[in-house]
A = this chain, B = another copy of it.
Amino acid sequence: MALIVQKYGGTSVANVERIKAVAERVARTVREGNNLIVVVSAMAGETDKLIQFAQQISLSPSDREMDMLLSSGERITSALTAMAIEAAGLKALALTGRQAGIITDTVHTKARIARISGERIKRAIEDGHVVVIAGFQGVTEGETDVTTLGRGGSDLSAVAVAAAVGADLCEIYTDVDGVYTTDPNIVSEARKLQKISYEEMLELASLGAKVLQTRSVEFAMKYKVPVVVRSSFNDNAGTLVVEEDSEMENVAVSGVAYDKNQAKLTLVNVPDRPGIAARLFDAIAASNVVVDMIVQNISSDGKSADISFTVPKTDSLRAREISEEIAKELGAERVDVREDISKVSIVGVGMRSHSGVASKMFQTLAAHNINIIMISTSEIKVSCVIDLKYTELAVRVLHDVFGLAG
């Protein structure tokens, strides 16, 4: 008898038929002898519809009111899903984030979970209920205001609840079968991974493989919650996200990711003084733009430098404005912006013990005449910024050279 958390994303609860299918899967899981907590997203399209309403009404709707608005979608699904589960012959109880005891900080639209008081969840489970929790939302301390956890926040709700109640497993149901070695739309031989480590998943999530929300993976890693990513549209086994094991280390590269939402900014000919990088990136951070890669080249005479960095394409305008201000202040020549780039990355915990992985990547790209614009590495990742038009080619040849096909 296990305690399982199942999270169903927007496409898995997109309409009445899909919600009934969820109830059937829930009933099956219960009949197999498990206790169950279900976390649901808003019906697909519902959140976007509400955002559209807000945008039509106000150029800058307040974050607090946005949270009140957007949290409604998940409440609706939680109630409907509880009804469907009861119609399938089980006892069910729908809980809002507040009722589930999900307490967050007060940063509306991207709140962080402070703690979860799982009392009511546990009581309901003991009473034989399937608990259905509205994902993506919490409430501030003192139960004052409703908050939301940011895009993809229902994944985080599920993992956090699983950690709080000590669940044996957290299943994330979505519209793909699991985590693949790369995007099957680009490489038809892409293979579904049976197992992947938290760290690798974290790199993949933040690199643009949109299967799991990044913060939910961090949370799962921190509290060692075993997570399965699988499809609600079939019964295929998914991908298990767990702690690293020796088997994983035998493989140098687990996956190839890419991210087309990248822009590169360069401050050209910045007079080289201590503190210039700090001045620039403090200002950018202050405007909530997340900087990814940073490269600094000192000129041969040592008197000036070029500073390049990447930001999400959606933030490039803001980053440019700030950079041009700072460039003037620092006496830089100009700011160049390139949006026709992408980032291609290889990920694998095996890199720690396998040498030559990075150089193999560089050689492979070179062999196909793909110019590398920037490089960044971590213990388990190598990322290269390249020309946007070579993205698919790069992904294919890297997937091939690291032997990732089935």
Contact = CB atoms under 8 A, between A and B. Distances in A.
Given A57-B19, A84-B57, A87-B59, A79 B94 contact: no
Given A53-B16, A143-B143, A86 B69 contact: no
Contacts of A193: none
A72 interface: yes
A404 to B, nearest CB: 42
A66 interface: yes
A121 interface: no
Contact of A62 (B50, B58, B78, B83): B83
A38 to B, nearest CB: 13
Contacts of A54: 79-80, 83
Contact of A83 (B20, B58, B71): B58
Question: How many identical subunits does the complex contain?
Answer: 2
Interface of A: 16, 19-20, 50, 53-54, 56-59, 61-62, 64-66, 68-69, 71-72, 75-76, 78-80, 82-84, 86-87, 92-94, 96, 99, 143-146
Question: Main SS of chain A's interface residues?
Answer: helix
Contacts of A61: 83, 86-87
Contact of A87 (B57, B69, B78): B57
B75 A80 contact: no
A62 B82 contact: yes
Given A75-B68, A75-B72, A80 B94 contact: no
Contact of A79 (B68, B80, B82): B68
Nearest to A75: B72
A80 B86 contact: no
